[in-house]
Amino acid sequence: MSTISKIEKFRVPPRWLFVRVETSDGIVGWGESTLEGHTEAVEGAIQDLTERFIGADPSNIEDIWQTAYMGRFYRGGPVLMSALSGLDIALWDIKGKKLGVPVWQLLGGKLRDRVKVYGWIGGDNPSDVVAAALERKEQGFTAVKMNGTDAASWIDSPDILRGTVDRVKQVRQIGMDVGVDFHGRLHKGMAKQLARLLEQCQPLFIEEPLLPTQPEEIADLSNAVSTPIALGERLYTRHDFRPYLERRAIDIAQPDVC
Ligand SMILES: [Mg+2]
């Protein structure tokens, strides 16, 4: 039986963390555990997984996942789930290499030949926004994503929101579709105003209009605007997604692979 013989982690600046898993029969798989700003914490969690799963059969991916997830008193959350994702992705890589097929074949086969993507452009500085969007356009993108606002006070000047609308308008005027990421920076009072003001620009979606700890408030906001709501990069399990789905609060689920 092939066993997991080595689990290593590699930091790649400025913020990535990769996991390399090696089996006793010499197959190597790679996974990603990036949790920017908390690399050391994730490394500690990977160390724990390493001690537990050296010697395990790498083909039992689901068994390893469930044992890692349920085998201790605490579960879920960004640190533990990012560490587990790195191991999980690496084990899928190993299985694909062992069977001689790409992992997507093991996950149900091909569904699409093309997928629409957007390019990130930042978006805090008005003069940079158009230049950055034009650069993306030249690269062939038809859509970009940009920041909504900087951090703002609980109730701040409406001028902050006007600035955001102006920047989004400028990018729309060069013929690009725009997603606007609020990053949960605004409190509810300001966020619902901005969401309403942005409707005239017809964004593709607004992302994390509030912090992902507020499913009820996000559901209220979702009912108050016509713009699609995107959210999910700070949810770590289906249990975390559940309140959003139950409330029909989001239109686009954005699970973060790692
Ligand atoms: Mg985001």
Q: Where are the domains of the chain?
A: 4-106, 119-253
Span 81-102, pLDDT tens digits: 999 999 999 999 999 999 999 9
In this prediction, what percent of the chain has a pLDDT beyond 70? 99
Fold of 119-253: TIM Barrel (3.20.20)
Ramachandran assignment for 183, one of left (phi > 0), alpha (psi -120 to 50 degrees), beta (any other): left
Span 32-50, pLDDT tens digits: 999 999 999 999 999 999 9
Ligand 1 centroid to residue 232 C-alpha, Å: 8
Ligand 1 centroid to residue 150 C-alpha, Å: 13
Cα distance between residue 101 and residue 140, in whole Å: 31
Ligand 1 centroid to residue 77 C-alpha, Å: 17
Ligand 1 centroid to residue 180 C-alpha, Å: 9
Ligand 1 centroid to residue 254 C-alpha, Å: 9
* CATH 3.30.1310.10 is the classification of domain 4-106: no
Taking the model in full, what pTM does it have?
0.91
Ligand 1 centroid to residue 107 C-alpha, Å: 26
Question: What contacts 28, CB < 8 A, 6 or more positions away?
Answer: 20, 21, 22, 94, 97
Ligand 1 centroid to residue 98 C-alpha, Å: 35
Ligand 1 centroid to residue 34 C-alpha, Å: 15
